Structure 1
Amino acid sequence: MTNSWQKAMAGRLKEFTGIDPLTIDQQQWTEQSQIAQEHPLYRSMTLSQASVFTDATGQVYPGLSVGRTDIQVAHPRTQYQHGRPSWLLQAGRRKPYFLDPTQCQLKLPCLVQAYAREEPADPMQPTHQGVPLDILEITNWGDKKALILPPGNYRLVLRNGEGQQQELLARLK
């Protein structure tokens, strides 16, 4: 039987170079897709921001995996605004943009990709394809989901499962 952990990249770095890097685990204390998969201690936490625990002397508590990592970061549960994780709003630097259902001529569900207006968005030429700033699936207009974008001018590319496509221009102040 083998140890499923083996060595992580930091362990290999120390082995081959002698450098002992600072290691940070952000997995142990974060929400999972099912609460039953979460550590019981995480389930009991109430956090409003990412946190690192310290002991009474102010020393960083390395978590339950003593010796595996130097620091464990605990993350709060995701809160949602406009049908999206609130952290996407980046403390107000990005804003919600709601599509007008009357402008959409496609059958739902559809995928909406928001490109900066000057970026190319040609699905027929992948090498000329820009990178969307946000992507949103709309399955029902009643869900009231928003794209989350910084202020600017955008080209919205809508595609549905039947291969139909539509483009809209948008401006977010």
Structure 2
Amino acid sequence: MKKLVVIFFIGMVLCSCSKEKVRNVKELISFKNKYKFDFEILEKLENDTVAWKYQLSANEFMLKGNYLNALKEWDKAFKGREVLYSSRKADSLRSNFTVHNAKDEIINESENTRLVIINEGHHNSYHRLFTKSLLEELYAKGYKHLGLEALANGKDKDLMLNTRGYPIKTSGYYTNDPNFSQLIRTAIKIGYNVFPYEQTIGVNNKEREIEQAKNIQKELEKFPNDKFLIHCGFDHVLEGSHRRWGKSMAGRLKEYTGINPLTIHQTKYSERGDKKLNSPLLKVFNVKKPSVLKDKNGSFFKYKRSNAWADIAVFHSSIKTDKGMIVEKDEVMYTLELERLKVEYPLMILVFETKDDLTKAVPVKIKEVHKKQNSTVLNLPKGEYSFVIVSKTNKTITFQEEIK
């Protein structure tokens, strides 16, 4: 028997954008909040004894879209140290390389292949938003398919994803990040066929790379005239020889198809939670928007490690945030009045598109409010949304609002 959702009218809430508006508030029964409150993440972290506990806490913050906290927790897992180049070396680098807009350069280079592969750090939500920024112009260049490592595959595959238009809680693990939700929603709205390619036979390491590549190869062969964008994790983007896997997924795919992909590496030169730990190269160029480097011959600065490489290294720094969440340029400030809400604090605000099934969908934005206050600000693109507000005791209310 399917679980029923019962909605009761309980009151009113005051919401404001450019002017104050009164909206009906309803109580949502049987809403299961997948996301942990900050205090729950920190309590678990304090009591956890596994060596990778900071990776786990980084993922928990990432899943609720808290970019900065995720980076800070990741720093604790992979501490590193502060490194600075000498003035002489920094000057030499600046004289030999020039900074260029990453998006523009990638779009231009994409014309030379039918396969673009870009990676992400699984803890870093911004990498998903950068890929999202490429979608519209890549689509105009003939890229019609988006392969996502993070989507569940095999018996767990989300068969209705492209029809529904948004991910649900069971579509994958990392896809529960609101920023990943935005990437998937945007791709489907533009017209992409979004598909999974993860291995389905329980293998890892070399065998996993082979299975991933074979799964993508099948999709390429189904649509021989179309171009493909693949969004993968960490080392799967590398060409050449991998120290543990022989070849990564990208290298295997090149071997099996004969297609020379454009490979793009985002993880090495992205900002850290503690900016002192940033790559010294990132500090030298101090970029303010996604950037790439070119030498005097017009060749891209690559990511290289031993005998492996990616064609283009992207530099990410100075990401605009509000309370730890990424702020995008197309978003407007929306003030949500909390004064009349009869809920306990802390509370969590989950924002959905109005077409979404609130019991299943992955939200497009999450914000936590730790203590009682009159209002809070969310940054959202213009549009119509369903708001779900959950207290720590799981009392849940919902209302809809148009942001203009």
| 3-state SS of 1:102 partner | coil
Q: Does residue 104 of the first structure (1) align with residue 345 of the second (2)?
A: no
Structure having the larger proportion of residues in helix: 2
Q: Which has the higher contact order (CA 8 A, sep 6+)?
A: 2
Conserved in 2, the CA contact under 8 Å of 1:108 and 1:140? yes
User: By how many angstroms is 1:10 displaced?
Assistant: 0.8
Partners of 1:112 and 1:150 lie apart in 2 by 16
Q: Does residue 159 of the first structure (1) align with residue 390 of the second (2)?
A: yes
Q: What TM-score do you get using the length of structure 1 for normalisation?
A: 0.76
Counterpart among 26, 40, 44 of residue 266 in structure 2: 26
Report the CA distance shift for 1:73/1:82 in structure 2 as closer, same or farther (over 3 A): same
Partners of 1:145 and 1:44 lie apart in 2 by 37
The residue type equivalent to 1:52 in the other structure is: V
User: By how many angstroms is 1:62 displaced?
Assistant: 1.4
Q: Which residue of 2 aligns with 1:86?
A: 327
Partners of 2:342 and 2:245 lie apart in 1 by 51
User: By how many angstroms is 1:37 displaced?
Assistant: 4.6
The residue type equivalent to 1:14 in the other structure is: K
Q: Does residue 95 of the first structure (1) align with residue 326 of the second (2)?
A: no
User: Between the two proteins, what is the percent identity of the paired residues?
Assistant: 27
User: By how many angstroms is 1:131 displaced?
Assistant: 4.0
Conserved in 1, the CA contact under 8 Å of 2:304 and 2:310? no
Unaligned runs of 5+ in 2: 1-241
Conserved in 2, the CA contact under 8 Å of 1:83 and 1:145? no
User: By how many angstroms is 1:51 displaced?
Assistant: 1.0
C-alpha RMSD of the superposition: 2.7
Q: Which residue of 1 aligns with 2:351?
A: 114
Counterpart among 115, 128, 133 of residue 364 in structure 2: 133
Partners of 2:245 and 2:348 lie apart in 1 by 38
Q: Which residue of 2 aligns with 1:75?
A: 316
The residue type equivalent to 2:341 in the other structure is: C
Partners of 1:75 and 1:113 lie apart in 2 by 27
The residue type equivalent to 1:22 in the other structure is: L
Report the CA distance shift for 1:34/1:145 in structure 2 as closer, same or farther (over 3 A): farther
The residue type equivalent to 2:284 in the other structure is: S
Conserved in 2, the CA contact under 8 Å of 1:82 and 1:146? no
Report the CA distance shift for 1:6/1:161 in structure 2 as closer, same or farther (over 3 A): farther
Q: What TM-score do you get using the length of structure 2 for normalisation?
A: 0.36
Unaligned runs of 5+ in 1: 124-128
Partners of 2:249 and 2:339 lie apart in 1 by 51
User: By how many angstroms is 1:145 displaced?
Assistant: 5.1
Q: Which residue of 1 aligns with 2:250?
A: 10
